[in-house]
Structure formats: structure tokens, C-alpha cells
Structure 1
Amino acid sequence: MVKKHQPKTPTTAMTHIPEHFSPLVQLYHDMDKAWNQVAQQYGFQCNGCEDNCCLSLFFHHTHAEASFLEFGLQTLPSNDQKHVLTLSRDYCRQTFSEAAKNQNPPGSQKIPCPLLKTDRCSLYNFRPMICRLHGLPHELHKPGFNVIKGPGCDAGKFDSRTYVPFDRTPFYKQMAVIEMNFRQLTGKTGKIKKTIAQILVDSMPR
């Protein structure tokens, strides 16, 4: 499966990105930098596990990230775009069709993300926030609530290690501002809760 330390040499072109994506690109850069710094302190490298993020059911909740992912898809060669979209349709059918839901609850099966290609993410530079932040023990501060703490992937892997502070709160706050501004700029409204596969399938012309 895709490694967290996948080299950040672009797997897709990162030039000529529309200006309205610049705040999101900067936030992603900051996330990657913070994640890598904490991972280095743990001496941690992702080599795949049962909790692998590329096999987990994740929903994404911002129009800004969905649009950036759709833009990223367009940077792939035509044949690769078609392949990703075929895998995305298969993913949706295996996960969300009535037959699939009657047989297995969504998320109970480990279905590879449609962006996986030879154990690497074909849209690595465009991958959403949760793909970037997953894996490390972390904390989240919500006003009026106790601090929410996450153990990191592969429960137990970090239990014997001294916790290295990794506060996701600033990233979520910045993402909220980016999403608000993006909605105002594009006129997009309404809540969004989609997997990568659903985002890509829904981006196809009707």
C-alpha cells in the first residue's frame, strides 16, 4: 500500500495550478511538514498495516478539497484518468450499492482506494487532508469539549512511546476558513460527505 514517506517528487504536474487553490496548497504543505517532523521524532515510517489509510473508508467534507482532487485528475494522461474512473465506479458499486450494503456494511471490506497504482498514490500531491494527517497519535481541541485524542494507526504501535504532541486543531481551523472562502468564490453550497471514489465519479459529465 502507499507509504506515508512516498517521495514528494510530483507524481502529477503541479504547475499552472489556479490561484484560488493556493491557500489549500499551502495548508497541505504545512500539514506534510508537521506530519513528517512528528514522524521523524517517533522514528516512524509507514510500511502498511491492517489500518492502512488506503484501504479505509474515509469521507471528505470540503468542496475545496473535492474540487482540487477533480483538478488533479485532469493532470493525468487520458488513459490513466479513464482507469481511475473505472476503479472509482467499481469502488462505489462494491461499497454503496444496495446489494453491497445488504451483504456488508460500508467500510467493513478493505477495498483499495481507486487512486492506488503499484502501491503508490497516482494523485499524491492532490490527496485530501485526512490522507495526509492519518497514522500518528494526535489531539484535537474543540471549544467546550474535552480534548479528543487519537492513538494513531495500528492500535498499540505507539503505546510504549512517549507522546509527541501533534495538534490537528490549527489545520482544521485553517481548512474551515479556506472552505468558507472557496464557497463564496465558487458559489458552491450544501454539505458534502463523499469518498474519493464518489468525488471522482460525481465529477464526470452527465
Structure 2
Amino acid sequence: MKSTRNAIFRRLEALYARMGQGYAATAQGTGFTCAGCTQNCCTSHFQHHTYVEWLYFFKGFETLPAPRREAYLDRARACVRETQDALLRGERPAVMCPVNDDGLCGMYEHRLMICRLHGVPHVLAGRDGLPQAYPGCHRFPAPAGADAAPAPLDRTPLYRDLARLEMDLLGARLRALPRVNLTLAEMMVQGPPRLTP
């Protein structure tokens, strides 16, 4: 089981590298940067949906020194409370990610997919198979003309490959386990995922 999991983690790392390359290709030459942005994406209410990423995050998290882990867990518990309070008020939560350290990700190498892809224009195939276009961050520079516009990042094959990794990790347990629909803070508070129904 451990060798299978390690092989899946290596495949996930390769997929993450592809995500980084695609992101860089879309942003190349545009001058796009997050520096000085007052609307930090790390306060976005992102929910994550795969056991494989949840497990991989904890692979990195468990290598941190104990005091740092505890500090992050304290923040995560506070994030969950603030998020629940905002939802009860009928508001969209805008709570800082528990692993954000003064604007930098404290788990950068183990950050999840949406944290790697957010910001650049992209396309994604809908349920009907037709691509839907999304503009990305409001700070992404508008192209000077059609020829100057960078090709948007196609997220579809990246999502499909992540889904394949999830299926390979879970196998027959895929339909027996509850669906993941958690913020990173919720994942952290719950601890590493249990892969038994």
C-alpha cells in the first residue's frame, strides 16, 4: 500500500509540475504579479475535492516541526469558526488561509491544485464537453490586441488527470467514501483523511 501511495504521490508531483508550467506559459510576458494586491487570493473561500491532495498535503504537513504544526492548527480552528460564522450570516467567507505566513504560503510545495492555478485566464470543458472561458484575476493585464492575448490555460486535462489519480488511489472505495467538499482549514482540523468507509 505504501509503495502504491508513493507512486501516486510521484504522479501527483509531476501533475503539479505541469500545472506550474501551464500557469507560467499563460502568464509569460504579461507582467502579471500578485505583488501589492489588496485582495489576497488566500482569503478566497476555496473548497477542495480530492482525497489524494488532502493526503499529499498532510505528507508535507507532518514533516514540519511540532510548534509550527500546532500554530497552523490553531489558525485552522479559528478559520473554521470564522467561516461558519460568515456562512450563518449569509456572507461569503473571506478568511485568511491558516498556512499563510505574512503573505507567503508556508506549505508551498504541498499546496493544493486551486492554489496553483488561480489567477490566470483559463478554459474548462463543461458537462456538455464544450469549453467555457474564464477571465482569471481582475489584475491580469488586458491584451493590447487579439494577437497579443496569451493562450488561456486549459484546465481540462489537468482536472482529468487529477481525477484519474483519485480513482487510482481509492479504487473500489471511491463510491463508498463520502465526497470531499472541504476548505483547507477543515481538512487540517479533521486531520489526515481516513481511506476506509
TM-score band (shorter)?
Answer: 0.7 to 0.9
SS at match of 2:154: coil
Could you tell me the TM-score, scaled by structure 2's length?
A: 0.83
1:138 aligned to 108, 116, 122, which one? 122
For residues 62-101 of structure 1, the aligned pairs below 5 Å read: 62-96=50-84, 99-101=85-87
SS at match of 2:133: strand
1:172 aligned to 135, 138, 159, which one? 159
How many residue pairs match? The answer is 184
Aligned-partner residue type, residue 50 of structure 2: T
Aligned equivalents of 2:182 and 2:42: distance in 1?
Answer: 15
Deviation of 1:50 (Å):
4.7
Contact 1:151 1:158 in 2 (8 A): no
Aligned equivalents of 1:128 and 1:44: distance in 2?
Answer: 21
Contact 1:138 1:167 in 2 (8 A): yes
Q: Give unpaired runs (5+ residues) of structure 2.
A: none
Deviation of 1:103 (Å):
2.8
2:101 aligned to 117, 128, 135, which one? 117
Q: 1:163 to 1:52 in 2, by over 3 A?
A: farther
Q: Deviations over 1:21-78 (max 9, x none)?
A: 1111110011111111221232322215354321100000001001111221101110
SS at match of 2:182: coil
Aligned equivalents of 2:168 and 2:73: distance in 1?
Answer: 29
Aligned equivalents of 1:104 and 1:115: distance in 2?
Answer: 25
Corresponding residue number in structure 2 for 1:150? 134
C-alpha RMSD of the superposition: 2.3
Aligned-partner residue type, residue 27 of structure 2: A
Answer yes or no: is 1:43 the counterpart of 2:31. Answer: yes
Could you tell me the TM-score, scaled by structure 1's length?
A: 0.80
Q: Deviations over 1:169-195 (max 9, x none)?
A: 110111110111011287772211001
Q: Which segments of structure 1 move beyond 6 Å, counting only runs of 4 or more?
A: 185-188
Contact 1:38 1:164 in 2 (8 A): yes
